[in-house]
Structure 1
Amino acid sequence: MVRLNVKPTRMELSKLKQRLVVSKRGHKLLKDKQDELMRQFIELIRKNNELRDSVEERLIAGMKSFVLAKATLNEAFIEELVAIPPQSVTLDLSEKNIMSVYVPEMNFTVEEQNKESDFKYGYLNSNSEIDESVDQIEDVLEDLLLLTEIEKTCQLMADEIEKTRRRVNALEYRMIPQLEETIYYIEMKLEENERASITRIMKVKDMGKKDKK
């Protein structure tokens, strides 16, 4: 490990020891943050995977019903059916703090366009598959919006975990070892200078004694 380029003085030694204490404290805090972020991230990923599987399963079922319905219904009727949606979705976006990570908190409000909000169509022009498709798509809407929030939260937390990991590694494998190596070098250098000073003093005393004789 390459030590820091500083002068081997007691003042620098004191400064470096203070930096080492701060670095170790910062390393511990960042490591604790990383561990907690990982714990919450794993929980969110598990929830995300379960919800995604459920949403995809219901969307696939809805699309299968829709494909079957489309094969037997007039195309103009289907276009008329979906031309004007009976519902509108309003998004109220805010933020919440998870371990210093600001993630979106999405509150969705599904508003009916009119009192008779369901799809209206004649029984002669429709079939059971179109009914099943409409019901399945409507049923999955709320979970689909929730999945959007969870996936964005997972993305932001993953970015923060990576940043925190780099900082932890920089402290653990670079800064702290550099400080320890430099502190050790300065201590050895100061001890060497002290021994040299003692040796010179002893020689001066010996020379003084010889001169008196």
Structure 2
Amino acid sequence: MASTQVNPTRMELTRLKKKLVTAVRGHKLLKDKRDELMRQFLDLIRENMDLRLKVEKGIKDANTNFVIAKASMSNEGMHTALMVPKQGVYLESKKKNVMSVDIPVFEYNTRTADENDIYSYGFAYTSSDLDGAVKSLADVLPDMLKLAETEKACQLMAAEIEKTRRRVNALEHVIIPETQESIKYITMKLDENERSTQIRLMKVKDMMLEQAHNYQDKMTGYPVEVETVS
């Protein structure tokens, strides 16, 4: 297939050799990148699993406390307590480059530095279970943001690993073998042309020697033995 698509010239041979060197080097670099991405991806998967279990436990505890608080308080009292929040959260999204993958990094700031501002109500007419529920949600917020960050990072890294794997396979199974085949074909063609040229030159030399000896034979009248060049 490669033999019908290339010009068997020395210039093309030089170009293909340079291309092969670049392809082999790129193949090694991409394999190293793929292996490193896989290592970091597995670390993120383990971190993501731990965070998910932690977040699920925090949300479960918060829901349990809310259910207990709802049983001990009226619906109107709970709605009134949670109607006007005192604390606010501002989320900021940044990016971190890891092996040419832009991974999101979430950071948050609160409206005030006082930790007690998470409670938007007085403690006189509310249940302590409601305090525990609000505290549980406030504690699980950083882990929820970290979980969202790691899950998105896992998705982006998985896509990059797949893309890198396809490039490695294309170089390993298509580009490098085809380039090697083309180099082999051009080398054989050039060697064949060189042998053909050498044979033609030898034939021309034999013909010239034979003509020279025949001419000398006619001039002297004596037979001259013609020595052929092997």
TM-score with structure 1 setting the length: 0.88
Query: Separation in 2 of the partners of 1:200 and 1:101?
Result: 61
> What displacement does 1:12 show?
0.3
**CA RMSD after TM alignment:** 2.2
* Residue matched to 1:80: 80
* Residue matched to 1:161: 161
Structure number with the bigger relative contact order (C-alpha 8 A, sep ≥ 6) is 1
* Residue matched to 1:151: 151
Change (3 A) 1:19 1:104: same
> What displacement does 1:50 show?
0.6
* Residue matched to 1:10: 10
Query: Which structure has the greater CA radius of gyration?
Result: 2
What amino acid is the match of 1:97?
N
User: Does the aligned pair in 2 maintain the 1:87–1:113 contact within 8 Å?
Assistant: no
User: Does the aligned pair in 2 maintain the 1:86–1:112 contact within 8 Å?
Assistant: no
> What displacement does 1:72 show?
4.3
* Residue matched to 1:174: 174
In the TM superposition, what are the counterparts of 1:84-95 in structure 2 within 5 Å?
84-95=84-95
* Residue matched to 1:189: 189
* Residue matched to 1:209: 209
Query: Separation in 2 of the partners of 1:139 and 1:16?
Result: 61
Change (3 A) 1:186 1:31: same
The SS at the match of 1:87 is coil
Query: Separation in 1 of the partners of 2:44 and 2:146?
Result: 12
Q: Is 2:121 the counterpart of 1:120?
A: yes
Query: Separation in 2 of the partners of 1:81 and 1:174?
Result: 67
The SS at the match of 1:96 is strand
User: Does the aligned pair in 1 maintain the 2:68–2:129 contact within 8 Å?
Assistant: yes
User: Does the aligned pair in 1 maintain the 2:82–2:121 contact within 8 Å?
Assistant: no
Query: Between Structure 1 and Structure 2, how many residues are aligned?
Result: 211
In the TM superposition, what are the counterparts of 1:57-76 in structure 2 within 5 Å?
57-76=57-76
Query: Separation in 2 of the partners of 1:70 and 1:58?
Result: 18
Cα offsets for 1:147-191 (capped at 9, x unmatched): 222222222222222221121111111111110111111111111
Q: Is 2:61 the counterpart of 1:41?
A: no
> What displacement does 1:116 show?
5.6
| 7-16 or 56-65: bigger deviation | 56-65
> What displacement does 1:199 show?
1.7
The SS at the match of 1:112 is coil
Query: Separation in 2 of the partners of 1:115 and 1:56?
Result: 23
User: Does the aligned pair in 2 maintain the 1:89–1:111 contact within 8 Å?
Assistant: yes
The SS at the match of 1:147 is helix
> What displacement does 1:34 show?
1.4
| 92-101 or 55-64: bigger deviation | 92-101
Change (3 A) 1:160 1:115: closer
> What displacement does 1:113 show?
9.1
> What displacement does 1:31 show?
1.4
Query: Separation in 2 of the partners of 1:88 and 1:128?
Result: 22
Identity %: 47
